[in-house]
Amino acid sequence: MRNPINQYEPDITEADIEAVNEYLRSGGYVTEFKKTRELEYSISEYCQTDDSVIFPNGTLSLLAILKSLNIGRGDTVVVPNYTMAATAFAVIETGAEVIFCDIELPSCCICFDAFEETINCQRKIPKAVMLMSANGRYPSYEMNKFLSFCTNKGIKVIEDSAQSLGSYYQDGQHIGTKGVAGSFSFSMPKIITAGQGGAVISNDRTLISKLRSYRDFGRLSGGNDLHPEIGLNLKYTDLQATLALSQIKRIDRLIEIKKHNFKLLIDSIESEYLYINQNNLKDTTPWFYELITPHRENLVNWLSEQNIKTRNMYPELNRQGAFSLHHQHTHKFKNSSFISRNGLWLPSHTKLKNDDINRIIEALNTFRPN
């Protein structure tokens, strides 16, 4: 059998390894300290925001935003029905209730029409909406229109931008910068990784201060034991921050590779049985390479026979047992259902070679459903 082409692999270089080794040899504190703060500066500078706060992972960064906005029991938050479950889990952990909303195609972001209808059906206006930028994409509608609607209703816009570091809106603003806060992830499949990690970006100084306090047991400031607010230990480690800092130095190159491989795919796929869900490569960077086909099971088996690994796209959240007692909805989810049944993630990492991409293209172009 030919060598496997994995759906995803971390891209750790010798420079990354040396950066971590040098940090360990230097006698660094290992826990959260100067390197974590340096990473926060790097993220906020890259995204052109006032500041950022680093968390152990993207799920906890979403939870911290919600808690810092005083969202909790008795409140509701709108979440797209197509997203990683963590988006909804963060809401449930606050004690608030999730309201699922359908997405639009092809962006897989919240559908504005469905969102308006959902809001208008509620007896109580939701406190916030989780705007997930799926695969680095922004919605098809004008963001200012969406933001104005939410502002007029008193709904906070939280951008779940876990998949979108290196992606921009059409006006040049980085995705994650239009809401009250944006959240990124540094988990293994993301464009830069430190194993785990999350970053919140915001131009709201008061919110940033609350996030720092919540991350550090609710303390007034580091180094004291005064706790005017409830908080948790959500501190990062300088060891992980060192790895992330090493990776962000080459983020432009990683973006270039992602876009190059994606363009090879979309320019070369010639099949009546499937299609690639496209990104606007001028503005956005695809996290994963998304394929849509009504023959998903057949295709997965076909690719597996050739040692090409894949992963099904997210299933609909409203149908998962974890949310059976924790959500409400009054609408059908036509588009999220379609993606969940027909969506497939192809190998998408930055270690893919041209030969790997050509193997994938050949396999896709020769696929015939049973």
Question: What's the pLDDT at 330?
Answer: 56
CA-CA distances (angstroms) from residue 185 to 41, 43, 61, 98, 99?
16, 12, 9, 21, 23
Considering the domain architecture, whether residues 117 and 165 belong to the same structural domain is answered as yes
Within-domain flag for 208: yes
Within-domain flag for 8: no
pLDDT in tens, 333-346: 999 999 999 999 99
Range of 306's domain?
Answer: 251-365
Query: What would the two tokens of residue 339 be?
Result: 């993606």
Last residue of one domain, picked from the residues 232, 248, 264: 248
- Report the predicted TM-score, pTM, of the whole model to 2 decimal places: 0.96
> Number of folded domains in the chain?
2
What are the average pLDDT values for consecutive 10-residue runs of the chain, which has 370 residues? 94 97 92 95 98 98 98 97 97 96 97 95 94 97 97 98 98 98 96 96 97 94 85 96 98 97 96 95 97 98 98 95 75 92 98 97 96
Question: What's the pLDDT at 220?
Answer: 81
Considering the domain architecture, whether residues 338 and 317 belong to the same structural domain is answered as yes
Question: What's the pLDDT at 44?
Answer: 98
Residue carrying the six token digits 């192809």: 346
Considering the domain architecture, whether residues 173 and 66 belong to the same structural domain is answered as yes
Question: What's the pLDDT at 165?
Answer: 98
Query: What would the two tokens of residue 335 be?
Result: 């588009």
Last residue of one domain, picked from the residues 248, 276, 309: 248
**Residue 222 DSSP class:** T
Considering the domain architecture, whether residues 107 and 132 belong to the same structural domain is answered as yes
Considering the domain architecture, whether residues 302 and 195 belong to the same structural domain is answered as no
Q: Which helix (H) or strand (E) segment is 162 a member of?
A: none
Question: What's the pLDDT at 335?
Answer: 97
Question: What's the pLDDT at 212?
Answer: 96
Question: What's the pLDDT at 328?
Answer: 65
The Cα 89–Cα 323 span in angstroms is: 9
Do the beta carbons of residue 303 and residue 347 sit within 8 Å?
no
The Cα 222–Cα 212 span in angstroms is: 9
Strands (E) across 235-310 are located at 275-276, 289-292
